[in-house]
Amino acid sequence: MKLHKIVILFILVSGIGSATFAQDEPTAQPKERTREDALKEGEAKSKAFDDKMEEGRKQHVKRQDKATQKRMKKNLRRAEKHSWGKEVPWYKRWFKKKKF
């Protein structure tokens, strides 16, 4: 009698366990985005952002007087010549003081 109860309990537990953890299959397959679609979308956003930034920069320069525009151009040329696009060397990054 005891073995009979154990077998019935085992059958119930094994049947319930598999149904409990089963997952339903999705009804609709999502549209797969290709790499090309993502690149086109990213390029369009990037182009729009760059255009907006350039327009804002031109308006900023236009609002300045002649002497300020000349000084801004001079400083831009100096920055491009000396450090434009250069990174700080690794040894300076390691040993610089932390600003907290």
What pLDDT tens digit does each residue of the chain (100 aa) get? 677 778 787 787 776 655 555 666 766 776 777 778 777 888 888 888 989 999 998 999 899 999 999 999 999 898 888 877 677 777 887 887 777 6
CA dist 19 and 32 (Å) reads 30
**What pLDDT is attached to residue 1?**
67
The structure's pTM equals 0.38
Query: Cβ(58)–Cβ(47) under 8 Å?
Result: no
**What pLDDT is attached to residue 92?**
80
Using CA atoms, how far residue 86 sits from 44, 83, 93, in Å, is 28, 5, 13
**What pLDDT is attached to residue 5?**
78
**What pLDDT is attached to residue 40?**
81
**What pLDDT is attached to residue 68?**
94
**What pLDDT is attached to residue 17?**
56
**What pLDDT is attached to residue 15?**
66
